[in-house]
Structures are given as structure tokens and as C-alpha cells.
Amino acid sequence: MTKKALLSFLCVMVAGCDNATSLVSYTPEMASFSNEFDFDPLRGPVKDFSQTLMNDKGEVAKRVSGTLSQEGCFDTLELHDVENNTGLALVLDANFYRDAETLEKRVRLQGKCQLAELPSAGVVWDTDDNGFVVSAAGKEMNVQYRYDADGYPLGKTTVTKDNKLSVNSKPSADPLKKMDYTAVTLLNDRPVGNVKQTCEYDAHANPVNCQLIIVDESAKPAVERSYTIKNTIEYY
């Protein structure tokens, strides 16, 4: 066996050399946007993506899609909550995101493309030295965001005048399967829900298909709902 053939064989045996070269940390923009807008973060040179959440009847419940520049900035971001009939479509324009339909300035940015302010709600985001959004402050609320060493979002804690709502996520110990996670939601330090997700992955260690189970513990008895997430990802 030649050295080249041996190297190729070894790459296959260790689950692919592509995984090793494309296993990168989450960028501050990807991690922060996913934390704020509630979608699964992605690694690597993502060009465009979509994430579709379907209930156990196969009906679309939510859909998120976006396009990114080669520098990792979100050029566009669309969020559709079908269950609640709400949505938002943002388009990058200099240091603002505009509403794609009305062209109203919706989000002010800092640096090249990081969240800075939501003027209509009086919310201001703050970043750490690495560019990750770590806090947000509004007239009647404060939010603290958490990440692990790879930039994976570990959740956030929102404090208002009367309540403290915390979401705490624990990813798989396998660095190739970060989106296999469990999460617990606490309201005033009391559990009100939990989530478990397991996924299939591509060569960039990004989720392609996921199974999501959400348990609402605030209901008596607790209510369990099952979802499927279908992702499409194109890379540079």
C-alpha cells in the first residue's frame, strides 16, 4: 500500500479528515444571533442555511433561514413562527438591519455585524473582549448570556421586576456532537420545562436532521411534545 493510499485509508478509519479540519469554534456573530433569535448555531464557512421545525404531524411549526458573507456576517435573516403567525425578515444595510419589507431600521449593529441595539424596544446589547454578546439591558429587564470555550451558547438568564427566567443548556461531551444537548428552563429557580435533542451531522459537525423532545412541566400533568428539525446548509 502506498503512503498516499495509507493516508486516505487512515482518514476514513478516524471518521474523516474533513471533520478534523472543519471542527472550528462558533463565531461571536453566529453564537450571539442563535442565542438571541432561538436557532441552532452552525460552525464553519456557512454561505446560507435553513432550519425547519416540524411537529409530530409533519406540520411546519417554525422556520429560520439566513445568508452569510464570507466574513461570517448575517446578510439576511428570516424567522417565521407558523404556530403563532409571527415573523421577521432582516436585511443588512451598513450598520443596521432593516425590515425587508418596510425598510425600517430594526436593529443597530456594532463593529462589522454584531448586535448593538433594538431601538423600538429600548434594548441595548453588550459584548465581551472576544465579541460575544454577554448581556442585554432594557427599561424593565436584564439578560445575561453564557457560552462554553468553543463559543457554544449555554443559555441565558432574563430578569424582570417580578421574575427570573433561566435556560441552561448542556451539550454532549463529544465535540463533534455539540447539538446533542439537554436543557432545563427555570422560572424563579423552579423547573418549568426541559428539552432533549439528538442529531445526525455533516462533515463540518453541523446538524442535518435532529429529533427534539420538549416537556412542559408547568402543565399538570406535564405535556411532552416531539419535533423533527430538518437543516439545509451550503458552504463557501
- Prediction pTM value: 0.87
C-alpha distances out from residue 104 to 77, 91, 115, 133, 136, Å: 15, 10, 16, 23, 22
C-alpha distances out from residue 108 to 38, 54, 97, 104, 158, Å: 19, 32, 7, 11, 21
Predicted confidence at residue 43, as pLDDT, reads 96
CA angle in degrees (0–180, nearest 5) for 14-18-20: 65
What's the grid cell of residue 104?
425600517
What is the rounded (10 degree) CA torsion for 39, 179, 190, 146? Answer: -70
**Nearest in space to 65 (alpha carbons), one of 236, 232, 235, 213:** 232
Domain CATH code at residue 124:
2.40.160
Q: What's the CA gap between 184 and 155, in Å, rounded?
A: 9
The total number of structural domains in the chain stands at: 1
**pLDDT values of the chain reduced to their tens digit, one per residue, 236 residues:** 444 443 333 333 344 444 444 479 999 999 999 999 999 999 999 999 999 999 999 999 999 999 999 999 999 999 999 989 999 999 999 999 999 999 999 999 998 899 999 999 999 999 999 999 999 999 999 999 999 999 999 999 999 999 999 999 999 999 999 999 999 999 999 999 999 999 999 999 999 999 999 999 988 899 999 999 999 999 99
Residue 182 pairs in a beta bridge with 170, 196
Which residues, in sequence order, are CB contacts of 8 under 8 Å at separation 6+? none
From the CA atom positions of the chain, what is the Rg in Å? 19
Question: Which helix (H) or strand (E) is 227 found in, with range?
Answer: strand 223-235
Domain containing 179: what range?
Answer: 3-235
Q: What's the CA gap between 225 and 59, in Å, rounded?
A: 13
Predicted confidence at residue 23, as pLDDT, reads 78
Predicted confidence at residue 2, as pLDDT, reads 44
CA angle in degrees (0–180, nearest 5) for 145-135-170: 0
Predicted confidence at residue 16, as pLDDT, reads 40
Predicted confidence at residue 17, as pLDDT, reads 43
